[in-house]
């Protein structure tokens, strides 16, 4: 060995060896095919995700770790991920590496294929930037006023002194809010009929058949699906056709009026691309239909989970009411909302990302055709992210902003939900109004488990509660 050469090298590097022996060894990269596969028949997995998603996900993580493959879609390698760093890398991946549009097939029956949910790369960026004004700025201020007004009006109309499932009433509220987002002050003449049909159409979400992509079936099978009344497909399609006609009428009516506005329809009517072309009627209709689904079901679910948790934690209710009566801050209310969305994320598994170019995430090499399915439920219930993860403890968010890769009720990255701020407003407004005017009691002592409603999970019985007129306390009376 040439020791003089070693001495020369050491001198040239300031007396240190040029090889960093203390550096960690390079991480071994494994192919996605090496990840564990859930050992359960496909049909049983599908039914578990539909009927008992929480124990299914927990059992899978306990057995297989933070990454595993589920086989619920024939021929599609679908990998559940729940490690924060994996989720972060997925959110930061370039737009031309991971796509979301191709993963929205289950909701295509609602949204069509021309809305923001279906677009990727530059098309997605351009559309998102174009419609953003209807969810921010002056539009957000206008919507906030309506959110508060509707919360007072709707909560006052909820039944008193008898057990009712909260979900239908919460869903009615969130659908009225989304009409404000869509149309603003320029309401279509058919709005009352449209609202009624949309509410009836969305009832289909509670049926197992809503999970089936029947819109991809051959025409003869589709005919059979429509004729078999118990599955609800025929009624859903009939109502969807009616809603489509009314939305088309609303677009035409607005065009004839020439009225502009910062509502979604007004914004879309003002969009032109680089070539001067405007969105088609079908594109506008698909964006509106997407909001009827995604902009209502998620927040209605969150309202139900909020009451499910609050009625089991009276000390939280007491602290919330004290803050509401004081009226100088909503810090604790904000923490409660964040904790509700952590413990009961409406969408437990966010929209999968399809790999279109090879990508390495967390030491795993995913190939084109693979799909990454980030689990908000597992991420939010991981003791490494949140101590005592199954406990409802709003205090964990006091003075702490939720991290973008360990709290993902609105997704993340460049496809994060556009309506996140509106949803937070709705939750705060409804909880404030409920707690200020009602004493809420559980109809059933046992906690309600999660149950699938297409894109969201809601309490299995719809969060059955009894609303009683609130007894005015001495403190409230003198406030």
> By three-state DSSP, how is residue 167 classified?
helix
Q: Rounded to 5, what percent of the chain is helix, strand, coil?
A: 55, 10, 35
User: How far is it, in rounded angstroms, from Cα 464 to Cα 450?
Assistant: 13
pLDDT recorded at residue 223: 87
- Whether the CB-CB separation of 139 and 133 falls below 8 Å is answered with yes
Asked if residue 417 belongs to a known ligand binding site, the reply is yes
Residues contacting residue 35 through CB under 8 Å, at least 6 positions apart = 67, 68, 69, 79, 364
> By three-state DSSP, how is residue 97 classified?
coil
Residue 127 lies in a domain: yes
Q: At 324, which helix (H) or strand (E)? A: helix 314-326
pLDDT recorded at residue 222: 84
Q: Domain range holding 153?
A: 28-186+259-478
User: How far is it, in rounded angstroms, from Cα 204 to Cα 271?
Assistant: 33
Residue 239 lies in a domain: no
pLDDT recorded at residue 474: 41
User: How far is it, in rounded angstroms, from Cα 305 to Cα 440?
Assistant: 14
Residue 382 lies in a domain: yes
Residue 235 lies in a domain: no
User: How far is it, in rounded angstroms, from Cα 463 to Cα 453?
Assistant: 14
Residue 223 lies in a domain: no
- Give mean pLDDT in consecutive 10-residue pieces for the chain, a chain of 479 residues: 42 39 62 96 89 90 96 93 96 95 84 87 92 95 97 98 98 97 96 96 86 81 86 92 97 95 96 83 95 94 97 97 95 98 92 96 96 95 93 96 92 91 98 97 93 87 96 51
> By three-state DSSP, how is residue 147 classified?
helix
CB crowding 297-331: b at 16 or more within 10 Å, else e:
bbbbbbbbbbbbbbbebeebbebbbebbeeeeeee
pLDDT recorded at residue 12: 40
Residue 71 lies in a domain: yes
pLDDT recorded at residue 26: 52
Please report the DSSP string for 279-303 in residue order.
Answer: PPHHHHHHHHHHHHHHHHHHHHHHH
The interaxial angle of helices 53-64 and 42-51, nearest 10 deg, is 120
* CATH number of the domain that residue 317 is part of: 1.10.630.10
Residue 218 lies in a domain: no
Residues contacting residue 216 through CB under 8 Å, at least 6 positions apart = 105
Residue 233 lies in a domain: no
CA nearest to 110, candidates 287, 346, 347, 299: 287
Number of domains present in the structure of the chain: 1
Q: Please give the model's pTM, rounded to 2 decimal places.
A: 0.89
pLDDT recorded at residue 229: 86
Per the rule left: phi > 0, alpha: psi between -120 and 50, beta: everything else, 404 is alpha
The interaxial angle of helices 233-257 and 219-227, nearest 10 deg, is 100
pLDDT recorded at residue 461: 95
Report how far apart, in Å, the C-alpha atoms of 408 and of each of 21, 229, 417, 427 are.
38, 38, 10, 16
pLDDT recorded at residue 324: 95
Residue 348 DSSP code: S
User: How far is it, in rounded angstroms, from Cα 316 to Cα 309?
Assistant: 9
User: How far is it, in rounded angstroms, from Cα 97 to Cα 248?
Assistant: 35
């Amino acid at each position: 060995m040439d020791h003089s050469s070693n001495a020369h090298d050491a001198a040239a590097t300031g007396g240190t060896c040029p090889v960093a022996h203390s550096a960690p060894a390079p991480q071994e990269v494994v192919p996605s095919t090496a990840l564990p596969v859930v050992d359960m028949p496909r049909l049983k997995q599908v039914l578990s995700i539909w009927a008992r998603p929480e124990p299914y996900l927990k059992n899978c993580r306990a057995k297989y770790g933070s990454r595993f493959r589920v086989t619920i879609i024939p021929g599609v390698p679908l990998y559940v991920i729940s490690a924060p760093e994996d989720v972060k890398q997925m959110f930061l991946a370039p737009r031309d590496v991971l796509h979301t549009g191709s993963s929205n097939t289950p909701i295509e029956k609602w949204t069509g294929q021309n809305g923001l949910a279906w677009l990727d790369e530059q098309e997605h960026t351009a559309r998102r930037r174009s419609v953003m004004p209807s969810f921010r700025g002056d539009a957000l201020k206008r919507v906030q006023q309506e959110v508060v007004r509707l919360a007072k009006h709707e909560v006052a109309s909820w039944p008193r002194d008898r057990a009712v499932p909260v979900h239908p009433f919460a869903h009615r509220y969130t659908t009225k809010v989304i009409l404000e987002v869509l149309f603003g002050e320029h309401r279509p003449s058919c709005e009352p009929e449209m609202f009624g049909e949309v509410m009836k159409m969305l009832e289909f979400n509670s049926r197992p058949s809503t999970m089936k992509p029947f819109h991809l079936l051959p025409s003869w099978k589709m005919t059979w699906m429509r004729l078999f009344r118990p599955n609800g497909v025929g009624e859903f399609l009939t109502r969807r056709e009616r809603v489509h006609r009314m939305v088309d009428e609303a677009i035409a009516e607005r065009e004839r009026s020439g009225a502009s506005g910062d509502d979604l329809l007004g914004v879309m009517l003002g969009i032109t691309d680089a070539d001067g072309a405007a969105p088609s009627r079908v594109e506008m209709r698909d964006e509106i239909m997407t909001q009827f689904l995604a902009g209502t079901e998620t927040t209605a679910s969150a309202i139900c989970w909020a009451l499910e948790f609050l009625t089991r934690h009276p000390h939280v209710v007491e602290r919330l009411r004290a803050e509401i009566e004081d009226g100088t801050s909503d810090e604790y209310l904000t923490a409660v909302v964040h904790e509700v969305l952590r413990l009961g994320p409406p969408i437990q598994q966010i929209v999968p990302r399809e790999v279109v170019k090879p990508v390495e995430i967390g030491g795993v090499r995913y190939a084109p055709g693979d799909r990454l399915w980030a689990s908000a439920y597992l991420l939010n219930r991981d003791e490494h992210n949140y101590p005592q993860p199954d406990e409802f403890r709003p205090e964990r968010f006091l003075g702490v902003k939720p991290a973008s890769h360990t709290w993902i009720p609105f997704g993340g990255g460049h496809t994060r939900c556009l309506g996140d701020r509106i949803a937070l407003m709705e939750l705060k407004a409804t909880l404030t109004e409920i707690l200020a005017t009602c004493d809420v009691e559980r109809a059933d002592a046992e906690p309600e488990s999660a149950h699938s409603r297409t894109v969201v999970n809601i309490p299995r019985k719809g969060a059955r509660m009894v609303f009683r007129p609130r007894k005015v306390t001495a403190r409230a009376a003198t406030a």
